[in-house]
Structure 1
Amino acid sequence: MSRRGSTLPTRAHWLLLGLALLFSLVLFLYLLECAPQTDGNASLPGAVGESYSREYYQALLQEQEEHYQTRAASLKRQIAQLKQELQEVSEKMKSLQERRNVGARGIGYHGNGEQAPGDLLGFLHSQIEKAEVSVGAKLPSEYSLVPFESFTLMKVFQLEMGLTRHPEEKPVRKDKRDELVEVIEAGLEVLNNPDEEDEQENEEGPLGEKLIFNENDFIEGYYRTERDKGTQYELFFKKADLMEYRHVTLFRPFGPLMKVQSDVVDISRAIINIIMPLAQRTEAFTQFMQNFRDVCIHQDKRIHLTVVYFGKEGLSEVKSILESVTRL
């Protein structure tokens, strides 16, 4: 009984060992079957791989270079085309400027109508005659009157204030600035190169030299536009050492500027009228009369003052102030 008991564990031990070896053999065969197969014809990294890569990059660089050359040629053609168009535009602008100068000399500032067509010149003169430039027109009421607006070198004083709501402003629009500058230059052209028909006296300065006006001699101007006729300009120039103004009237009948007249305004004996509205404020009026006496009465003596007083309170005091000034 003891031998049989010892034999059974020994057999079980060898049986387990055999099963383990069999399982290991099956696992090894399975791994051999499932392992990936290597391609014997695959190219290994070496000289052949490097030669293929160099050719590829050379072809890529060649393609990029051809693309850039094509782009550069296209840009050169565009630049040449733009230069040609710019030259054509410059020639057109030059020809238009020459025509404009010829038109200005023909029917503009100098009043020489030989170079202008007769029909056009007649139409322009008819527009001047229709407008209230030389002779006034009868109007049904004051609402039909077209008011003037004044301007200087830097400012425009307008009655219709528009969106800005400012009666005094700089010309914002470029076309308006160019228009006023052109008008002032036209007035200077009339003064510095007068026609033979213009009988202007005192064309020489104090030292006998010829008077040459510039834009600094421009004092102020007035203009108004009648929608069916054109724009009228009244320009005033003055030298600092002369007691006279130069008055130039221009008209633009929806065409080139035309000179209407040019005359001399002598102010050596002119009387300046001042109309002053007043209501109370007698202390400020007293100070004003002192300045008026020192500047206007003692120095100029060619100023007439009219005081329009509103109300009765303080009227006697204002009268006494005026009487005291007149007695001095």
Structure 2
Amino acid sequence: MQPLKANEIVGTWGTLLLPIGNDDSIDQELLSSEIQTLIAAKVNGIYSNGTAGEFYNQTEEEFELISQLLADACNAAEMPFQIGCSHTGPKQTLERIKRIRPLKPGAIQVILSDWFPPSRREILKFLEGVCNAAEDIGIVLYNPPHAKVILSPSDYAAILKEGIPLVGCKTAGGDAQWYTAMSALQDFSVFIPGHHLATGIRQGAHGSYSNVACLHPAIARSWYEDMKTDMEKALLFEVRIRQFMEKHIVPLIKEEKYSNQAVDKLLAWITGWAAMPLRLRWPYSSVTEEEALRVRDHCRDLLPEFFETVTA
């Protein structure tokens, strides 16, 4: 695949979730099947090794296996894909980038160094290094709400002004002022949470590495198509999606203390599109099946569309 330009990184991208067995191993057969299902759903792209892909809890051999499986399937299907090379250690991030560069992803995702909060000077040094290591492949900065340093629109502007060729970011979004400032950035793709996508697109965002695609990638893709042709319909659908997330998913995170990746796997389990187990890798806790069944009932009531048969 040719490297993606910023204006080509748009729409609903599906994350690659890791199917973890009872022995804590990765189910490679189920992982390959998941990739094919995402391709068949015609999402705008697929990415590996985000938080939902448990990038922080893989051996280097597993990282290479996951990356190879994704690249082989997506290159054969001409499906845009990104490989996450994030690591809490900056040197390991560089090594991961160098190893997967021959797989020709459309872009590479990284997080900022995470053990100690980097200064602005250190952030610039880190991003310059990863962009150099990636050569002609664009870098997307994954800056989640739990990062030790949260970048503002002015921070992104300063990075781009320094000539560091980031092609995009994955963020939590913001208010109207935030969108205005981010929209002023040139040749830069801004991705926000999936359940805010219609509102975000209307304010200038370009897409989402989508938790809604975790719930069902074909429905998420169809919803994005509605945003291009019937925004009012898409906004009405978002009201129900956000109602479900706020009433039934957010409390699992805030009150029950489950991780984001635990609820991402829950979302996939609810509709069963990927036959994804709820299990996270040791030592992290998975949502229990009892809780999952309860949430599934609420989802079916609020969002019956996600349980209907969808043709790609």
TM-score (norm 1): 0.22
More strand by share: 1
Greater relative contact order structure (CA < 8 Å, 6+ sep): 2
TM-score by length of 2: 0.23
